[in-house]
Amino acid sequence: MAIENNLLDEKRADINKIIELIDVNDNIVVLTHKNPDGDAIGSAYGIIDYCKSRGKTVNGFIPFSYPSNLKFINYGNVIQSFEENVHSVIIEEAELFIIVDLNSAGRVGNIESHLLKSNASKIMIDHHLGPEDFCDYYYVYPNAASAGQLVYEIISSDKEYSLSKEAAQAIYTAIMTDTGSFRFSQTNADVHRIVVALLESGANPVEAYDKVYNSFPISAMRLKGRVYENIETYFNDSVCVSIIKRLDYKETGASEEQTEGIVESLLAVDTVKITVLLMEEENGEIRSSFRAKIGYDVRQIAVFLDGGGHKQAAGARVKNMTIDTLKNKIIEYIENNGY
């Protein structure tokens, strides 16, 4: 259940509190969400780098597999794919969890049960609406352009810390990806001021763009082509919907993490205002991604499906429903709610 505003205010931590919690705890675990994007990996690396500079023992984990095009910002392999038999002890011994770029415990996948039963303090650093009540402290600001922006605000406040070139590159990548290469509406002057500081600290924008957007295997391109083949449009071509079934992954040789960025590309159609991508996952869930041009709100569609996100970028996971039934349910919702 998402926490109410008064409870969020009650548990809200300022930057000084977060720094204090890092100072008094020696064994720290940083977590981010499954199917991680650039903001997830970049913000996680940024806070890990800071904690290491304070002499802390820090481990970072993602559930399941790691996107190949984001490995360049996982310097020293400090963020690992969680393996139950290998890493459970590390989770159990953690004194502090820092959870970035997610607001629901379910988003940490196979780490969830370990996280929830731990008595360690938990901090959430996030920019999504409607966080769930499973943390002790919240640094949550939905108006921020990315979790990477919030991490930068925290670590740059410590004047004894010198931002490393690696952390600068990771946080730059976080901000770049979650702002759609600086084109989404929350890309304001504050974001650009942060970017200037990151560039001055050694971030390389050419490398970031090239690695994120020009480093996919041919299987990912084949999957993208399959998505384009499966496009359906509705309401005078203003809504674009496509699907990825398990057979599509098998026939193209692609993996689930190689879907990143495809739903945004569907917005390139001139008449399209809203895009929907539905993906069958190996565990039987259907992952739904929604994107919108300025003036349209897809978060409400995601909330209807017990998901969440932002007005122009949102998502949900649905169980016990076929992909075609879900598609029809979404189209009906859009038709009935004035889109």
Residue 308 has a pLDDT of: 87
Q: How many separate domains does the chain show?
A: 2
Pairing of strands 313-318, 286-292: antiparallel
Contact 40, 101 (CB under 8 A): yes
- To 5 degrees, how large is the angle CA 85–CA 87–CA 92? 110
Contact 184, 176 (CB under 8 A): no
Q: Are residues 167 and 278 in the same domain?
A: no
Please state, in angstroms and rounded to a whole number, the distance separating the CA atoms of residues 140 and 123: 10
Q: Which domain CATH number covers 50?
A: 3.90.1640.10
Q: Are residues 238 and 164 in the same domain?
A: no
Q: Which helix (H) or strand (E) holds 140?
A: strand 137-140
Which among 213, 232, 249 is the end of a domain? Answer: 213
Residue 26 has a pLDDT of: 97
Q: Which domain CATH number covers 279?
A: 3.10.310.30
Query: How many angstroms from the chain centroid is the CA of residue 262?
Result: 15
Q: Are residues 13 and 150 in the same domain?
A: yes
**Which alpha helices (DSSP H) does 179-322 contain, by range?**
189-200, 205-213, 218-229, 246-252, 262-265, 299-304
Please state, in angstroms and rounded to a whole number, the distance separating the CA atoms of residues 278 and 266: 13
The half-sphere exposure of 250 on its side-chain side, counting CA atoms within 13 A, is 6
Q: Are residues 127 and 170 in the same domain?
A: yes
Q: Are residues 205 and 228 in the same domain?
A: no
The half-sphere exposure of 137 on its side-chain side, counting CA atoms within 13 A, is 21
Residue 5 has a pLDDT of: 58
Contact 142, 129 (CB under 8 A): yes
**Residues 6 or more apart whose Cβ sits within 8 Å of residue 218:** none
pTM value > 0.85? yes
Q: Are residues 201 and 233 in the same domain?
A: no
Contact 195, 174 (CB under 8 A): no
Which among 182, 213, 244 is the end of a domain? Answer: 213
Q: Are residues 161 and 232 in the same domain?
A: no
Which among 167, 194, 213 is the end of a domain? Answer: 213
Q: Are residues 252 and 184 in the same domain?
A: no
Please report, in tens digits, the pLDDT of each residue of the chain (339 residues total).
Answer: 344 456 567 899 999 999 999 999 999 999 999 889 999 999 999 999 999 999 999 999 999 888 889 999 999 999 999 999 999 999 999 999 999 999 999 999 999 999 999 999 999 999 998 899 999 999 999 999 999 999 999 999 999 999 999 999 999 999 999 998 998 888 999 999 999 999 999 999 999 999 999 988 999 999 999 999 999 999 999 999 999 999 999 999 998 888 988 999 999 999 999 999 999 998 889 999 999 998 999 999 999 999 988 888 999 999 999 999 999 999 999 999 977
Q: Are residues 230 and 330 in the same domain?
A: yes
Domain of 262, in residue numbers: 218-336
Tokens read off for 297? 């709100």
Please state, in angstroms and rounded to a whole number, the distance separating the CA atoms of residues 47 and 57: 12
Q: Are residues 18 and 71 in the same domain?
A: yes
Pairing of strands 137-140, 286-292: unpaired
Give CA separation, 211 vs 23, 40, 207, 214, 320, in Å: 34, 16, 6, 6, 36
Give CA separation, 80 vs 91, 116, 256, in Å: 13, 20, 17
Contact 37, 260 (CB under 8 A): yes
Residue 2 has a pLDDT of: 45
Residue 6 has a pLDDT of: 64
Q: Are residues 12 and 31 in the same domain?
A: yes
Q: Are residues 121 and 208 in the same domain?
A: yes
Residue 338 has a pLDDT of: 76
Residue 64 has a pLDDT of: 85
